[in-house]
Protein backbone atom coordinates (compact mmCIF):
# COMPACT_ATOMS: atom_id res chain seq x y z
CA UNK A 1 0.00 0.00 0.00
CA UNK A 2 1.40 3.36 -0.97
CA UNK A 3 2.01 5.73 1.92
CA UNK A 4 0.83 9.32 1.40
CA UNK A 5 3.49 12.00 1.79
CA UNK A 6 2.71 14.64 4.38
CA UNK A 7 2.31 18.09 2.94
CA UNK A 8 3.03 21.31 4.76
CA UNK A 9 0.06 23.31 5.93
CA UNK A 10 -0.61 26.20 3.53
CA UNK A 11 0.03 29.64 4.92
CA UNK A 12 -3.05 31.86 5.06
CA UNK A 13 -3.18 35.60 4.42
CA UNK A 14 0.10 35.56 2.46
CA UNK A 15 -0.44 39.00 0.91
CA UNK A 16 -1.36 40.52 4.27
CA UNK A 17 1.73 39.02 5.92
CA UNK A 18 3.82 40.33 3.00
CA UNK A 19 2.43 43.85 3.56
CA UNK A 20 2.86 43.77 7.36
CA UNK A 21 6.50 42.72 7.17
CA UNK A 22 7.26 45.39 4.57
CA UNK A 23 5.58 48.09 6.71
CA UNK A 24 7.59 47.10 9.79
CA UNK A 25 10.93 47.04 7.93
CA UNK A 26 10.00 50.21 6.02
CA UNK A 27 9.99 51.99 9.40
CA UNK A 28 13.62 51.01 9.98
CA UNK A 29 14.75 52.39 6.63
CA UNK A 30 12.67 55.57 6.78
CA UNK A 31 13.92 56.27 10.30
CA UNK A 32 17.53 56.33 9.13
CA UNK A 33 16.98 59.13 6.59
CA UNK A 34 14.18 60.91 8.45
CA UNK A 35 16.42 61.60 11.46
CA UNK A 36 19.22 62.95 9.24
CA UNK A 37 16.92 65.74 8.05
CA UNK A 38 16.10 66.64 11.67
CA UNK A 39 19.76 66.87 12.80
CA UNK A 40 20.05 70.69 12.45
CA UNK A 41 16.97 71.19 14.66
CA UNK A 42 18.29 68.72 17.25
CA UNK A 43 21.62 70.54 17.29
CA UNK A 44 19.91 73.88 17.98
CA UNK A 45 17.79 72.55 20.86
CA UNK A 46 20.62 70.72 22.63
CA UNK A 47 23.34 73.21 21.55
CA UNK A 48 25.47 70.22 20.58
CA UNK A 49 28.80 70.38 18.75
CA UNK A 50 28.86 68.78 15.33
CA UNK A 51 31.19 65.84 16.27
CA UNK A 52 28.78 64.79 19.05
CA UNK A 53 25.79 65.10 16.75
CA UNK A 54 27.10 62.39 14.39
CA UNK A 55 26.50 59.75 17.08
CA UNK A 56 22.75 60.13 16.67
CA UNK A 57 23.30 58.35 13.35
CA UNK A 58 26.43 56.43 14.35
CA UNK A 59 24.99 54.75 17.45
CA UNK A 60 22.05 53.45 15.41
CA UNK A 61 24.30 52.10 12.66
CA UNK A 62 26.77 50.44 15.04
CA UNK A 63 24.23 48.40 17.02
CA UNK A 64 22.20 47.54 13.94
CA UNK A 65 25.23 46.13 12.13
CA UNK A 66 26.45 44.32 15.23
CA UNK A 67 23.23 42.46 16.01
CA UNK A 68 22.24 41.32 12.50
CA UNK A 69 24.01 37.95 12.40
CA UNK A 70 23.10 37.09 15.98
CA UNK A 71 19.44 38.04 15.45
CA UNK A 72 19.19 35.90 12.34
CA UNK A 73 20.54 32.82 14.09
CA UNK A 74 18.40 33.35 17.21
CA UNK A 75 15.36 33.40 14.93
CA UNK A 76 16.40 30.08 13.39
CA UNK A 77 16.67 28.51 16.85
CA UNK A 78 13.69 30.04 18.68
CA UNK A 79 11.34 31.11 15.88
CA UNK A 80 11.33 34.09 13.50
CA UNK A 81 7.82 35.35 14.36
CA UNK A 82 8.52 35.71 18.06
CA UNK A 83 11.78 37.55 17.49
CA UNK A 84 10.35 39.75 14.71
CA UNK A 85 7.59 41.06 16.98
CA UNK A 86 10.09 41.66 19.80
CA UNK A 87 12.21 43.71 17.39
CA UNK A 88 9.27 45.84 16.23
CA UNK A 89 8.16 46.51 19.82
CA UNK A 90 11.71 47.34 20.95
CA UNK A 91 12.10 49.74 18.01
CA UNK A 92 8.78 51.43 18.86
CA UNK A 93 9.58 51.82 22.57
CA UNK A 94 13.00 53.28 21.75
CA UNK A 95 11.32 55.73 19.35
CA UNK A 96 9.01 56.83 22.17
CA UNK A 97 11.84 57.37 24.68
CA UNK A 98 13.89 59.12 22.00
CA UNK A 99 11.03 61.52 21.32
CA UNK A 100 10.92 62.44 25.02
CA UNK A 101 14.75 62.58 25.37
CA UNK A 102 15.71 65.49 27.69
CA UNK A 103 19.33 65.58 26.52
CA UNK A 104 21.61 64.53 23.69
CA UNK A 105 23.11 61.55 25.63
CA UNK A 106 19.60 60.27 26.38
CA UNK A 107 18.69 60.56 22.70
CA UNK A 108 21.85 58.66 21.69
CA UNK A 109 20.99 55.85 24.14
CA UNK A 110 17.50 55.58 22.62
CA UNK A 111 19.00 55.49 19.14
CA UNK A 112 21.34 52.71 20.28
CA UNK A 113 18.37 50.61 21.38
CA UNK A 114 16.53 51.54 18.19
CA UNK A 115 19.41 50.05 16.20
CA UNK A 116 19.09 46.75 18.07
CA UNK A 117 15.35 46.65 17.39
CA UNK A 118 15.93 47.50 13.73
CA UNK A 119 18.51 44.71 13.40
CA UNK A 120 16.16 42.15 14.93
CA UNK A 121 13.10 43.11 12.90
CA UNK A 122 14.85 43.60 9.54
CA UNK A 123 16.87 40.38 9.51
CA UNK A 124 13.96 38.21 10.73
CA UNK A 125 11.65 39.86 8.19
CA UNK A 126 13.95 38.78 5.37
CA UNK A 127 14.09 35.25 6.82
CA UNK A 128 10.28 35.11 7.02
CA UNK A 129 10.13 36.15 3.36
CA UNK A 130 12.38 33.29 2.37
CA UNK A 131 10.27 30.78 4.31
CA UNK A 132 7.06 32.29 2.94
CA UNK A 133 7.90 31.99 -0.75
CA UNK A 134 9.37 28.90 -2.45
CA UNK A 135 12.73 29.25 -4.14
CA UNK A 136 12.50 30.34 -7.75
CA UNK A 137 10.47 32.95 -9.62
CA UNK A 138 8.00 33.59 -6.80
CA UNK A 139 10.71 34.30 -4.23
CA UNK A 140 12.75 36.36 -6.71
CA UNK A 141 9.76 38.59 -7.40
CA UNK A 142 9.01 39.03 -3.68
CA UNK A 143 12.63 39.91 -2.90
CA UNK A 144 12.63 42.44 -5.75
CA UNK A 145 9.57 44.21 -4.32
CA UNK A 146 11.07 44.00 -0.82
CA UNK A 147 14.31 45.72 -1.89
CA UNK A 148 12.41 48.30 -4.00
CA UNK A 149 10.25 49.37 -1.07
CA UNK A 150 13.28 49.66 1.20
CA UNK A 151 15.12 51.72 -1.42
CA UNK A 152 12.12 54.03 -1.74
CA UNK A 153 12.15 54.40 2.04
CA UNK A 154 15.32 56.50 1.96
CA UNK A 155 13.72 59.07 -0.37
CA UNK A 156 10.41 58.96 1.53
CA UNK A 157 12.24 59.48 4.82
CA UNK A 158 13.97 62.61 3.57
CA UNK A 159 10.70 64.16 2.39
CA UNK A 160 8.71 63.11 5.48
CA UNK A 161 11.49 64.28 7.79
CA UNK A 162 11.44 67.75 6.28
CA UNK A 163 7.65 68.05 6.50
CA UNK A 164 7.36 66.72 10.07
CA UNK A 165 10.27 68.76 11.40
CA UNK A 166 8.94 71.97 9.86
CA UNK A 167 5.37 71.40 11.03
CA UNK A 168 5.74 69.72 14.44
CA UNK A 169 9.42 69.81 15.44
CA UNK A 170 12.15 67.17 15.37
CA UNK A 171 10.58 65.00 18.10
CA UNK A 172 7.70 64.17 15.77
CA UNK A 173 10.03 62.18 13.47
CA UNK A 174 10.48 59.70 16.33
CA UNK A 175 6.92 59.78 17.69
CA UNK A 176 5.47 58.87 14.26
CA UNK A 177 7.04 55.40 14.53
CA UNK A 178 5.23 54.51 17.75
CA UNK A 179 1.58 53.96 16.66
CA UNK A 180 2.61 52.38 13.35
CA UNK A 181 5.00 50.01 15.10
CA UNK A 182 2.59 48.85 17.79
CA UNK A 183 -0.28 48.33 15.32
CA UNK A 184 2.05 46.32 13.07
CA UNK A 185 3.17 44.21 16.05
CA UNK A 186 -0.44 43.44 17.05
CA UNK A 187 -1.41 42.46 13.50
CA UNK A 188 1.72 40.35 13.08
CA UNK A 189 0.94 38.52 16.32
CA UNK A 190 -2.49 37.69 14.92
CA UNK A 191 -1.69 36.79 11.32
CA UNK A 192 1.90 35.54 11.16
CA UNK A 193 2.04 31.71 11.27
CA UNK A 194 3.14 30.27 14.62
CA UNK A 195 6.28 28.46 13.52
CA UNK A 196 8.89 27.18 15.95
CA UNK A 197 12.58 27.52 15.28
CA UNK A 198 13.57 25.28 12.36
CA UNK A 199 17.28 24.96 13.07
CA UNK A 200 18.34 21.34 13.47
CA UNK A 201 20.59 22.14 16.46
CA UNK A 202 18.64 23.90 19.23
CA UNK A 203 21.67 25.51 20.82
CA UNK A 204 22.97 29.05 20.61
CA UNK A 205 26.71 29.55 20.35
CA UNK A 206 27.14 32.26 23.03
CA UNK A 207 30.96 32.67 22.73
CA UNK A 208 30.59 33.03 18.96
CA UNK A 209 27.67 35.43 19.39
CA UNK A 210 29.67 37.64 21.79
CA UNK A 211 32.82 37.78 19.65
CA UNK A 212 31.12 38.45 16.30
CA UNK A 213 28.73 41.06 17.75
CA UNK A 214 31.49 42.94 19.59
CA UNK A 215 33.85 42.56 16.60
CA UNK A 216 31.38 44.00 14.09
CA UNK A 217 30.37 46.84 16.43
CA UNK A 218 34.03 47.79 17.01
CA UNK A 219 34.64 47.60 13.26
CA UNK A 220 31.77 49.99 12.43
CA UNK A 221 32.81 52.27 15.31
CA UNK A 222 36.34 52.42 13.87
CA UNK A 223 35.04 53.20 10.40
CA UNK A 224 32.77 55.92 11.78
CA UNK A 225 35.81 57.53 13.40
CA UNK A 226 37.86 57.03 10.23
CA UNK A 227 35.36 59.09 8.23
CA UNK A 228 36.01 62.00 10.63
CA UNK A 229 39.59 61.62 11.87
CA UNK A 230 41.22 59.37 9.25
CA UNK A 231 42.64 55.85 9.47
CA UNK A 232 45.88 56.84 11.21
CA UNK A 233 44.06 58.34 14.20
CA UNK A 234 44.27 56.44 17.52
CA UNK A 235 40.45 56.66 17.73
CA UNK A 236 40.35 54.61 14.53
CA UNK A 237 43.40 52.36 14.87
CA UNK A 238 42.65 51.06 18.39
CA UNK A 239 39.03 49.89 17.84
CA UNK A 240 39.97 48.60 14.39
CA UNK A 241 42.74 46.45 15.91
CA UNK A 242 40.39 45.17 18.63
CA UNK A 243 37.74 44.33 16.03
CA UNK A 244 40.25 42.28 14.01
CA UNK A 245 41.25 40.37 17.17
CA UNK A 246 37.59 39.73 18.08
CA UNK A 247 36.64 38.57 14.58
CA UNK A 248 39.70 36.32 14.37
CA UNK A 249 38.66 34.82 17.71
CA UNK A 250 35.18 34.30 16.28
CA UNK A 251 36.58 32.26 13.39
CA UNK A 252 38.62 30.12 15.81
CA UNK A 253 35.55 29.52 17.99
CA UNK A 254 33.38 28.62 15.00
CA UNK A 255 35.94 26.14 13.67
CA UNK A 256 35.90 24.27 16.99
CA UNK A 257 32.25 24.64 18.05
CA UNK A 258 29.85 21.69 17.79
CA UNK A 259 26.96 24.12 17.26
CA UNK A 260 28.53 27.19 15.58
CA UNK A 261 26.65 30.45 15.13
CA UNK A 262 28.05 30.55 11.58
CA UNK A 263 29.02 27.10 10.28
CA UNK A 264 32.10 27.76 8.13
CA UNK A 265 30.91 25.09 5.69
CA UNK A 266 27.88 27.30 4.97
CA UNK A 267 30.20 29.92 3.45
CA UNK A 268 31.61 27.34 1.03
CA UNK A 269 28.18 26.35 -0.24
CA UNK A 270 27.34 27.50 -3.77
CA UNK A 271 27.31 31.26 -4.24
CA UNK A 272 27.06 32.29 -0.57
CA UNK A 273 30.58 33.60 0.05
CA UNK A 274 30.99 35.37 -3.31
CA UNK A 275 27.51 36.93 -3.04
CA UNK A 276 28.39 38.40 0.35
CA UNK A 277 31.73 39.73 -0.91
CA UNK A 278 30.06 41.36 -3.93
CA UNK A 279 27.42 42.82 -1.59
CA UNK A 280 30.17 44.38 0.54
CA UNK A 281 31.90 45.80 -2.57
CA UNK A 282 28.82 47.32 -4.23
CA UNK A 283 27.44 48.85 -1.03
CA UNK A 284 30.92 50.28 -0.33
CA UNK A 285 30.73 52.26 -3.55
CA UNK A 286 27.28 53.58 -2.63
CA UNK A 287 28.25 54.44 0.95
CA UNK A 288 30.73 57.11 -0.13
CA UNK A 289 29.05 58.13 -3.37
CA UNK A 290 25.84 59.48 -1.82
CA UNK A 291 27.65 61.50 0.85
CA UNK A 292 30.21 63.01 -1.53
CA UNK A 293 27.56 63.95 -4.10
CA UNK A 294 25.48 65.65 -1.39
CA UNK A 295 28.49 67.72 -0.28
CA UNK A 296 29.41 68.51 -3.91
CA UNK A 297 25.91 69.68 -4.84
CA UNK A 298 25.36 71.83 -1.74
CA UNK A 299 28.82 73.17 -0.87
CA UNK A 300 30.45 73.37 -4.31
CA UNK A 301 27.50 74.10 -6.60
CA UNK A 302 25.48 75.93 -3.91
CA UNK A 303 22.27 73.90 -4.24
CA UNK A 304 19.70 73.99 -1.45
CA UNK A 305 18.71 70.83 0.43
CA UNK A 306 15.44 70.74 -1.51
CA UNK A 307 17.14 71.00 -4.91
CA UNK A 308 19.64 68.34 -3.87
CA UNK A 309 16.75 66.04 -2.99
CA UNK A 310 15.27 66.64 -6.45
CA UNK A 311 18.59 65.67 -8.08
CA UNK A 312 18.49 62.36 -6.19
CA UNK A 313 14.87 61.70 -7.19
CA UNK A 314 15.54 60.15 -10.66
CA UNK A 315 18.00 57.56 -9.26
CA UNK A 316 15.50 56.80 -6.47
CA UNK A 317 12.80 56.12 -9.08
CA UNK A 318 15.19 53.77 -10.91
CA UNK A 319 15.72 51.84 -7.67
CA UNK A 320 11.98 51.58 -7.09
CA UNK A 321 10.83 50.53 -10.56
CA UNK A 322 13.85 48.82 -12.14
CA UNK A 323 15.10 47.22 -8.93
CA UNK A 324 11.68 46.26 -7.68
CA UNK A 325 10.13 44.84 -10.80
CA UNK A 326 12.94 44.50 -13.31
CA UNK A 327 15.72 42.76 -11.39
CA UNK A 328 13.78 39.60 -10.53
CA UNK A 329 12.68 39.20 -14.16
CA UNK A 330 16.25 39.58 -15.37
CA UNK A 331 17.42 36.96 -12.86
CA UNK A 332 14.65 34.56 -13.90
CA UNK A 333 15.56 34.94 -17.56
CA UNK A 334 19.36 35.30 -17.56
CA UNK A 335 20.48 33.96 -14.17
CA UNK A 336 22.06 35.59 -11.14
CA UNK A 337 25.63 35.54 -12.42
CA UNK A 338 24.98 37.52 -15.61
CA UNK A 339 22.83 40.06 -13.76
CA UNK A 340 25.57 40.65 -11.17
CA UNK A 341 28.20 40.95 -13.90
CA UNK A 342 26.14 43.65 -15.66
CA UNK A 343 25.36 45.30 -12.30
CA UNK A 344 29.03 45.57 -11.32
CA UNK A 345 29.95 46.84 -14.80
CA UNK A 346 27.31 49.60 -14.62
CA UNK A 347 28.40 50.57 -11.10
CA UNK A 348 32.01 50.93 -12.32
CA UNK A 349 30.89 52.89 -15.40
CA UNK A 350 28.67 55.20 -13.36
CA UNK A 351 31.49 56.03 -10.94
CA UNK A 352 33.83 56.61 -13.90
CA UNK A 353 31.39 59.13 -15.40
CA UNK A 354 31.26 60.95 -12.06
CA UNK A 355 35.03 61.55 -12.19
CA UNK A 356 34.25 64.28 -14.77
CA UNK A 357 32.67 66.64 -12.21
CA UNK A 358 34.05 70.18 -11.96
CA UNK A 359 33.70 73.21 -9.71
CA UNK A 360 31.84 75.04 -12.53
CA UNK A 361 29.47 72.16 -13.28
CA UNK A 362 25.75 71.66 -12.72
CA UNK A 363 23.35 68.80 -12.05
CA UNK A 364 23.49 67.74 -15.73
CA UNK A 365 27.14 66.92 -15.16
CA UNK A 366 26.38 64.42 -12.39
CA UNK A 367 23.05 63.07 -13.62
CA UNK A 368 24.39 60.59 -16.26
CA UNK A 369 26.80 59.02 -13.77
CA UNK A 370 24.15 58.84 -11.06
CA UNK A 371 21.63 57.24 -13.42
CA UNK A 372 24.08 54.62 -14.73
CA UNK A 373 25.25 53.81 -11.20
CA UNK A 374 21.66 53.57 -9.92
CA UNK A 375 20.71 51.27 -12.81
CA UNK A 376 23.56 48.92 -11.91
CA UNK A 377 22.97 48.97 -8.16
CA UNK A 378 19.19 48.64 -8.51
CA UNK A 379 19.41 45.36 -10.41
CA UNK A 380 22.32 44.19 -8.27
CA UNK A 381 20.87 44.46 -4.76
CA UNK A 382 17.90 42.09 -5.32
CA UNK A 383 20.14 39.69 -7.26
CA UNK A 384 22.61 39.63 -4.36
CA UNK A 385 19.86 38.61 -1.94
CA UNK A 386 18.69 35.91 -4.35
CA UNK A 387 22.23 34.54 -4.65
CA UNK A 388 22.80 34.67 -0.90
CA UNK A 389 19.64 32.63 -0.21
CA UNK A 390 19.97 30.13 -3.06
CA UNK A 391 20.09 26.57 -1.75
CA UNK A 392 19.30 27.62 1.83
CA UNK A 393 17.96 24.68 3.83
CA UNK A 394 15.07 24.90 6.33
CA UNK A 395 16.40 26.34 9.55
CA UNK A 396 19.09 28.41 7.80
CA UNK A 397 16.94 31.33 6.63
CA UNK A 398 17.98 33.56 9.54
CA UNK A 399 21.63 32.62 9.12
CA UNK A 400 21.61 33.56 5.42
CA UNK A 401 19.61 36.72 6.11
CA UNK A 402 21.92 37.84 8.92
CA UNK A 403 25.02 37.19 6.84
CA UNK A 404 24.01 39.10 3.69
CA UNK A 405 22.46 41.91 5.78
CA UNK A 406 25.69 42.28 7.75
CA UNK A 407 27.82 42.31 4.59
CA UNK A 408 25.71 44.99 2.95
CA UNK A 409 25.38 47.01 6.15
CA UNK A 410 29.17 47.04 6.67
CA UNK A 411 29.66 48.27 3.10
CA UNK A 412 28.17 51.71 3.78
CA UNK A 413 30.51 52.89 6.57
CA UNK A 414 33.45 51.09 4.93
CA UNK A 415 32.92 52.86 1.61
CA UNK A 416 32.32 56.21 3.30
CA UNK A 417 35.54 55.93 5.32
CA UNK A 418 37.68 54.73 2.40
CA UNK A 419 36.38 57.20 -0.20
CA UNK A 420 36.56 60.17 2.17
CA UNK A 421 40.11 59.20 3.15
CA UNK A 422 41.10 59.05 -0.51
CA UNK A 423 39.35 62.35 -1.25
CA UNK A 424 41.32 64.04 1.56
CA UNK A 425 44.68 62.35 1.01
CA UNK A 426 44.81 62.99 -2.74
CA UNK A 427 43.73 66.62 -2.56
CA UNK A 428 46.73 68.37 -4.15
CA UNK A 429 45.73 71.88 -3.07
CA UNK A 430 45.05 73.40 0.38
CA UNK A 431 41.79 72.21 1.98
CA UNK A 432 40.23 75.63 1.45
CA UNK A 433 40.64 75.36 -2.32
CA UNK A 434 37.42 74.44 -4.12
CA UNK A 435 39.39 73.02 -7.05
CA UNK A 436 41.37 70.85 -4.63
CA UNK A 437 38.22 69.53 -2.98
CA UNK A 438 36.70 68.62 -6.34
CA UNK A 439 39.95 66.90 -7.37
CA UNK A 440 39.78 64.83 -4.19
CA UNK A 441 36.18 63.89 -5.03
CA UNK A 442 37.28 62.81 -8.51
CA UNK A 443 39.85 60.44 -7.02
CA UNK A 444 37.19 59.09 -4.65
CA UNK A 445 34.86 58.32 -7.56
CA UNK A 446 37.76 56.62 -9.32
CA UNK A 447 38.16 54.41 -6.24
CA UNK A 448 34.43 53.65 -6.47
CA UNK A 449 34.94 52.58 -10.10
CA UNK A 450 37.76 50.26 -9.02
CA UNK A 451 35.44 48.71 -6.44
CA UNK A 452 32.95 48.08 -9.24
CA UNK A 453 35.66 46.32 -11.27
CA UNK A 454 36.50 44.14 -8.26
CA UNK A 455 32.83 43.20 -7.99
CA UNK A 456 32.81 42.46 -11.73
CA UNK A 457 35.77 40.07 -11.44
CA UNK A 458 34.16 38.20 -8.53
CA UNK A 459 30.78 38.05 -10.31
CA UNK A 460 32.33 36.37 -13.37
CA UNK A 461 33.54 33.58 -11.06
CA UNK A 462 30.19 33.15 -9.33
CA UNK A 463 28.93 29.57 -9.32
CA UNK A 464 25.40 28.93 -10.59
CA UNK A 465 23.22 29.14 -7.44
CA UNK A 466 21.85 25.89 -6.07
CA UNK A 467 18.12 25.32 -6.02
CA UNK A 468 17.00 22.53 -3.72
CA UNK A 469 20.24 20.67 -4.24
CA UNK A 470 20.58 21.18 -8.02
CA UNK A 471 22.61 23.78 -9.94
CA UNK A 472 20.55 26.51 -11.57
CA UNK A 473 21.05 25.11 -15.09
CA UNK A 474 20.25 21.55 -14.03
CA UNK A 475 17.14 22.71 -12.20
CA UNK A 476 16.00 24.50 -15.36
CA UNK A 477 16.39 21.31 -17.41
CA UNK A 478 14.53 19.27 -14.77
CA UNK A 479 11.63 21.73 -14.80
CA UNK A 480 11.63 21.73 -18.61
CA UNK A 481 11.57 17.90 -18.82
CA UNK A 482 8.85 17.64 -16.19
CA UNK A 483 6.66 19.98 -18.22
CA UNK A 484 7.11 17.79 -21.30
CA UNK A 485 6.00 14.74 -19.35
For CA atoms 327, 329, 334, 337, give the dihedral sign. positive
Confidence of residue 466 (pLDDT cuts 50, 70, 90): very low
Confidence of residue 51 (pLDDT cuts 50, 70, 90): low
Residues 26-53, mean pLDDT to the nearest whole number: 73
Residues 259-276, mean pLDDT to the nearest whole number: 80
Burial (CB count within 10 angstroms: exposed 0-12, middle 13-18, buried 19+), residue 302? exposed
Residues 147 and 98: beta-carbon distance below 8 Å: no
pLDDT at 36: 67
pLDDT at 468: 41
Report the share of the chain in percent with pLDDT over 90: 18
CA-based max dimension of the chain: 86
397 Cβ contact partners less than 8 Å away, ≥ 6 residues apart: 72, 75, 76, 80, 126, 127, 128, 130, 131, 198, 389
Residues in the chain: 485
User: 76-80, 169-173, 326-330: which has the highest mean pLDDT?
Assistant: 169-173
CB atoms near residue 271 (< 10 Å):
25
Residues 113-135, mean pLDDT to the nearest whole number: 83
143 Cβ contact partners less than 8 Å away, ≥ 6 residues apart: 129, 328, 382, 385, 386, 389
* Comparison of pLDDT for 327 and 161, the residue scoring more: 327
Q: Is 50 exceeded by the pLDDT of residue 484?
A: no
Grouping H, G, I as helix, E, B as strand and the rest as coil, residue 359 is coil
Report the share of the chain in percent with pLDDT over 70: 81
Among 239, 185, 181, which residue's Cα sits nearest to residue 58?
239
469 DSSP 8-state letter = T
User: 113-117, 272-276, 331-335, 400-404: which has the highest mean pLDDT?
Assistant: 113-117
Burial (CB count within 10 angstroms: exposed 0-12, middle 13-18, buried 19+), residue 461? exposed
Confidence of residue 445 (pLDDT cuts 50, 70, 90): very high
CATH code that applies to domain 12-192? 1.20.1250.20
pLDDT at 348: 94
Q: Is 70 exceeded by the pLDDT of residue 397?
A: yes
Q: Is 70 exceeded by the pLDDT of residue 72?
A: yes
Confidence of residue 313 (pLDDT cuts 50, 70, 90): confident
Q: Where are the domains of the chain?
A: 12-192, 205-260, 269-485
pLDDT at 369: 93
pLDDT at 476: 43
Q: Same CATH fold, 269-485 and 12-192? A: yes
pLDDT at 431: 52
Q: Is 50 exceeded by the pLDDT of residue 475?
A: no
* Comparison of pLDDT for 268 and 343, the residue scoring more: 343
User: 135-149, 363-377, 466-480: which has the highest mean pLDDT?
Assistant: 363-377
pLDDT at 353: 95
CATH code that applies to domain 269-485? 1.20.1250.20
Residues 340-369, mean pLDDT to the nearest whole number: 91
Residues 306-324, mean pLDDT to the nearest whole number: 77
Q: What is the distance between the alpha carbons of residues 282 and 383, in angstroms, rounded to a whole number?
A: 12
pLDDT at 230: 77
Amino acid sequence: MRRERKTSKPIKHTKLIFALIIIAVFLDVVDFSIVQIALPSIRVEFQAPLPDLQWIIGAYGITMAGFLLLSGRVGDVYGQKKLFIIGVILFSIASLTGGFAPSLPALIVSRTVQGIGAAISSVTALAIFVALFPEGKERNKALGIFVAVLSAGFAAGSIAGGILTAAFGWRSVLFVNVPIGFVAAILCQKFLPNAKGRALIKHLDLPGAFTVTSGVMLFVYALTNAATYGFISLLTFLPLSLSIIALAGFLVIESRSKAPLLPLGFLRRGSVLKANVIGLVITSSSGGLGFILTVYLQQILGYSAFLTALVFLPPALIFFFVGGWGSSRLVNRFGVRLVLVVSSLLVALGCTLLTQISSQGNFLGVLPGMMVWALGASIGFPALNIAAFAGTKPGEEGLASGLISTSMRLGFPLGLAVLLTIATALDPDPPASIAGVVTGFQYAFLAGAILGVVGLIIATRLEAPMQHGFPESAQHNINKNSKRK
